[in-house]
Structure 1
Amino acid sequence: MPLPAGLAALAAPLLAIPVAFGFTAAPALADNPLVLVLTVLLVLIGLFSIIIFTSRVSHFQDPLFCVFVVFSFISIIDLIIALEEDGFISGFMEVYVREGEPFLRTSHGIMVCYWDGIVHYGLYLTMVAAIGQRKNYRNLGLFWLGSLLMSIVVFLLGNMIGKHSSELSPSFLLNLPYLLLLAWAGLRLFQQPKERPCLSPEKVAEEQHKPLYQRPQDVALVLGLLLMATFTFFRGMVVLDCPADSCFEYIYQHEPYLRDPVAYPKVQMLIYMFYILPFFILCIYGLVLPGCSWLPDWSLVFAGAMAQAQFCHLGSSLHARTPFPYQTPDDVLWSFLLSNLLYALGPQLLVLRCLHGPAFFLPAPPASSLPAPPAGLSRGKKHQ
C-alpha cells in the first residue's frame, strides 16, 4: 500500500539506525574497503527501490522527492557519526569512519555532519511535505543547494590537499555521484517557476525610481557588504601568507585555526576570496541599480552557503578535536564570535531584503503599462 509523502520521508531516515548498526556488526567490512563501498551502494539502491514501491505515484511528477528522501537518510547517518565521534553514542558507524572516511573524525568533519543531520534534515522534511501538498519550495531548495554545495566542495578539497590526503580510500569515490546528483537537483530547482509577487507596474516603477539615499535599508546593506568584502579579502590574504604585520598578528593571535594543516579553513577562506567576494560586489551593484532580477535567487544560494560555512568554521575553531595551538584564544573569543556571526548574518539580511521588498529587483515595467498623465495637465504643460 502506498505511503503518503510525509510518512515515506520519515520512514527512510528511520532505516538509518539499523543500517548504521549493521556496518559495525559486519566484520567483513572492516577488512576490505572495496566491499565497504559496494555495500554502501547497495544500501542506497535498495533505499531508492523502497521509496518507489512505498510512495504514491503522483509524487514522482517531481523527481526531487526521491532525492530529498535519500539525502534525508544520509543526513541521519551523518548525525549518528557526529554524535558517535563526540562520545554521545557508540557502536554504530565506527567501522565506516575508520575504514572509509577517517577525515570525518576531524572537527570540521564533525561540524559538517551536525549541520547535515540537523539543518539539512529539517529542510528535506519541509520540502518533501511541500511536494506532497503541491506547494512551492523553490526558495528553500535554493538555500539548501548553496549550503550543501559549499559543504561538499570545502570538504572534498580539504581532504585532497590536507594532512589526511594520504588516507583517501575507495569510499571517496562515493562523492562523485553525490556531486552529480546535486548538480542535477540544482538545475531542476532553477527551472521551477518563481513565485511572482502581485505588484502593479506603478508600484514597481515607484520603487525603482527611488535613489539609494532614499532607501536607508539598502544603504545599510551596501555599507555592510563593503565591510564584509574587506574582511573577506583580508582573510584571503592571511591564508595566502601575506607578510604584512597585520596578517601575521591576525593568524597567530585571532584565528590560529586558519593555520590548521587539515586545510579546511584555508580552502574555505580561498573560496570566500575568489567566489564570495565577487558576489558581494555584484550584490552592491544590484542594490544600487534597479531591475537585477537575478539577485533574489542567487542571494538565497549564497546565504545557504555562508550559513553552512560559518557554522563549520566557528564550530571547528572551538571544538575540542582541533589541536590546542589552533583553537581560538580565550582573550579574543568574543571578538572572534562577533565578527564571524555578523559575517554570517549579512547574507541572511540580504535575502530578507530581496524577498520582502521584491519590487526593486523586478524587470522594469514597459512604458506602455504605466498610466498616462492626466490630459489637462499635459495640455497645461504644453501651453506653458
Structure 2
Amino acid sequence: MTFSGPSIIFLTSLSAIPLSYFMNKISQMIDQRMILVAGVCSLLFVTIIPYLHVKYNPRKTDSFFYVLSIFTFSSVIDLVIGLENDGLIENFMTFYLKEGEPYLKTAHGTMICYWDGVIHYALYLMILAAISWGQSYREVALYWVGSLAHSMLVLMPAILMGPHGVKWPVLLNIPFLIIPFFAGGKFLRQRPSEEEHTEPSKMMKHPRIWRRPLDLFLVLYFLAASCVAILRFTAAFGGKVELAERYAQKYEPYLMESSKYAAAQMAVYLFFFLPYYAGSIYALIFPGESWMSDWSLIHAGAAAQAQFSHMGSSVHYRTPYVHRVPQNMKARAVFWVVNVLLFAVPQLMAYRCTNEPSFFQKANKTVVISEESEKNRKKK
C-alpha cells in the first residue's frame, strides 16, 4: 500500500498527539533549553518524513509541500493545547505550558491555538488537496498568509511586553514568524498578468461610487473602521482621551487587560490595517488598482484571525472578570455589532475583489467605451 505526498503530510501531523503525550511524561526534561531542543527535533522529524517520500518518488514537488509538513504538525499541537487549556483533555502539554510557553495558557493563547488547530489546519488540507489534484491554491495561501502573519505580529510583541517573560522555547516561533512573509512575497509575485483574466467586454467606464451601493457601503465601512482603529488604539495604550476611556470602560474592558495581547493587536490595526483601509477607499472610488484582489485576501485572513481571537478572549473564562464584556445589554450589543462587522465585512470585501477581478484592473484605452459615447450612438 502506497501513500501520496499529501497523505504522508496528513498522517505525519497526527503523530503530534502521541508525541505530545510522550514528551509530557518525560519529567526529567526540566531545562528550558532541553524543551527547545526537543521542539527543534520534532520539527526536523516531521520534515524528514516527507523529504524521504519525495526523494524516492521522483515526481516534481511544490516547495510549499515541506512547509506544510511543519505547519500541519504545529496545528495539531495547538489544538491539543487549546483543548487542554479548557480542561477537555489533560496531561498532553501540561509541562510544556508550565515551563515552555506559559503565555499560551491565557485566553488569547487559547484562542489562537483553536484558530490554528481548526481554521489553519483546514486551509492546509485545502492546499494539500489542490497540490494532489494539480490545481492552484494561491488564493487560499494568501488568506493563510494574512491570518498567520497577523497572529505572529500580535503574539511576539505581546510576549515581550507581557508578564510571563521570555524563555528559550519562544525561539520555536521563529519559523512561523518568518515563513509567512517569504511565502506571501512568493505568492504575490505569482499574480496573473492583467491580460490573463481581464474580459474586454467588462472593461467599461465604471459608474460613480454613489451608483455602486455595495462599494459605497464598503467605503463607509472603511471610514468607520479607521475611526474605530484609532479609538481602540488610544484606549489600549491608556490615552487620556475621554471618548476612548469611556469606550474601554463601558464596552471593551479587555483592551486594558494586562497580558498586552489586546494592546499589540490594536497596534497592528493602527499601523497595518489603517493604511490598507485608506488604500481600499481610494481603490473603490477610483477603480483600477490591481493589487486589491490579493491584498483583500490577505486582509480578510488577518481580520478573521484578529476578531476571532479578540472576541473569544473578551468572553473567555481565563480573562479576569473585570476585563470581560460587561453584562448589560447595551454594552454587549455595541461590542458584538462592532466586532462582528470587523470580522465579516473584510470577508465580503475579499469576495467582492476576487469575484470581479477585472473591475480592479487598469482599463485598456483602446477597448474602453465611455458611457456618453454609448448614449450618443444609441441616439443616432
TM beyond 0.5: yes
3-state DSSP class of the match of 1:224? helix
Structure of higher CA gyration radius: 1
Question: In structure 1, what is the equivalent of residue 42 of structure 2?
Answer: 43
Stretch of structure 1 that moved more, 352-361 or 193-202: 193-202
| Equivalence for 2:104 | 104
Mind listing any 5+ residue stretches in structure 1 that lack a counterpart?
A: none
The Cα shift of 1:16 comes to 0.7
Q: 1:69–1:124: 8 Å Cα contact kept in structure 2?
A: no
What are the residue-to-residue correspondences of 1:282-297 with 2, within 5 Å?
282-297=279-294
- CA distance in 1: counterparts of 2:58 and 2:318, whole angstroms: 46
Q: What aligned pairs does 1:78-157 form with structure 2 within 5 A after superposition? A: 78-157=78-157
User: What does residue 336 of structure 1 align with?
Assistant: 335
Per-residue deviation, 1:371: 8.4
Give the partner amino acid of 1:180.
I
CA RMSD of aligned residues (A): 2.3
The letter of the residue matching 1:88 is L
Distance (whole Å) between structure 1 residues aligned to residue 319 and residue 193 of structure 2: 44
The alpha-carbon distance between structure 1 residues 59 and 157, as it changes in their structure 2 partners (threshold 3 A), is farther
Matched, 1:221 2:229: no
Match of 2:7 in 1: 7
Q: CA deviation at 1:15?
A: 0.5
Retained in 1: the 8 A contact 2:198–2:357? no
Q: Which amino acid is 1:290 matched to?
A: P
Tell me, yes or no, if the aligned pair for 2:5 and 2:50 is still in contact at 8 Å.
no
CA positional deviation for 1:60: 5.1
Aligned to 1:360: 359
Letter in 1 for 2:313: S
Give CA-to-partner distance per residue, 1:175-194, whole Å, 9 cap, x none.
22332222222222223343
Which residue number corresponds to residue 344 of structure 2? 345
The residue aligned with 1:210 is 207
Instruction: After TM superposition, give the deviation of residue 293 of structure 1 in Å.
Output: 0.1
Q: CA deviation at 1:234?
A: 1.3
Q: What SS is found at the alignment partner of 1:61?
A: coil
Seen in structure 2, the aligned counterparts of structure 1 residues 2 and 45 have a Cα distance that, compared at 3 Å, is farther
- For 2:125 and 2:64, locate their aligned partners in 1 and report how far apart those are by CA, in whole Å: 12
TM-score, normalised via structure 2 length: 0.92
Q: Quick one: percent identity of the two aligned structures?
A: 35
Alignment of 1:53-68 (within 5 A): 53-55=52-54, 57=57, 61-68=61-68
Which deviates the most, 140-149 or 330-339? 330-339
Tell me the residue number matched to 1:74: 74
The CA deviation at 1:228 is 1.2
Cα distance between partner residues in 2 of 1:226 and 1:370: 31
Q: Contact conserved, 1:111 with 1:315, CA < 8 A, in 2?
A: yes
Q: Would you say the 8 A contact 2:234–2:241 is kept in 1? A: no
Residues 19-52 of structure 1: per-residue CA shift (max 9 Å, x gap): 11111111222x1111111111111111111111
Q: 1:229 deviation in Å?
A: 1.3
Q: Deviations over 1:70-115 (max 9, x none)?
A: 2011000000001011000011111111111000100000001000
Residue 298 (1) aligns with residue 295 (2): yes
Kindly provide the amino acid, as one letter, of the partner of residue 110 in structure 1. Answer: T
Q: What amino acid is aligned across from residue 344 of structure 1 in structure 2?
A: F
The Cα offsets for residues 199-218 of structure 1, whole Å up to 9 and x where unpaired, read as 432421x1x43221221211
Q: Distance in 2 between matches of 1:313 and 1:371?
A: 47
* 8 A contact 1:59–1:65 mirrored in 2: no
Cα 1:87–1:238 change in 2 (3 A) is same
1:252 maps to which residue?
249
Distance in 2, Cα, partners of 1:276 & 1:108: 20
- Matched length: 372
CA–CA separation in structure 1 for the residues paired with 2:327 and 2:46: 46
